[in-house]
Amino acid sequence: MSIFTKKTATNKRRYPRIRIYHLVKYRQLSVPGAATEIGGVKDISGGGACLLSDKKLAPGNLIELRINFPRISTPVLSQAKVTWVKWMPRLNQYKIGLQYLDIEENLRNEVVRRLENVRKMAGK
């Protein structure tokens, strides 16, 4: 089984997606005074991510996402839009699809570059 999501007729992603687990911080921008929460990224690409969270977020909500990658001094900061939400009873968490809205192009390129390096190391 590959760690990458391949582009198929039903999966028309612009950027390759890699399955990882990484802790992130996020804050709902659609909720005034919302606290910063901690969640996990289940997979990530240059265009978005899949967030695991105890908190239910509504599709269309905006969040501020902060991802600290190992060996990158600057965290990846982006506003993201919640595109879908699914309750995962086995995990007792929500799986939340995110689309980056304003990620800086140099940081997007860094995410894509790192994903490509992982792909090459995996021989894909």
Give the mean pLDDT of 57-85: 87
In whole angstroms, give the CA distance from residue 121 to residue 31: 41
Q: Report if residue 6 sits inside a domain.
A: no
Q: Report if residue 2 sits inside a domain.
A: no
The string of pLDDT tens digits covering residues 18-44 is 777 888 999 999 889 999 999 999 888
Q: Report if residue 7 sits inside a domain.
A: no
Residue range(s) defining the domain that contains residue 30: 12-119
Return the pLDDT at 9: 42
pLDDT of 5 over the 60 cut: no
Q: Report if residue 98 sits inside a domain.
A: yes
28-45: b or e for each residue (b if 16 or more CB lie within 10 Å)?
beeeeeeeebebebbbbb
Q: Report if residue 1 sits inside a domain.
A: no
pLDDT, averaged across the chain: 81
The string of pLDDT tens digits covering residues 79-99 is 999 999 999 999 999 999 999
Confidence (pTM): 0.76
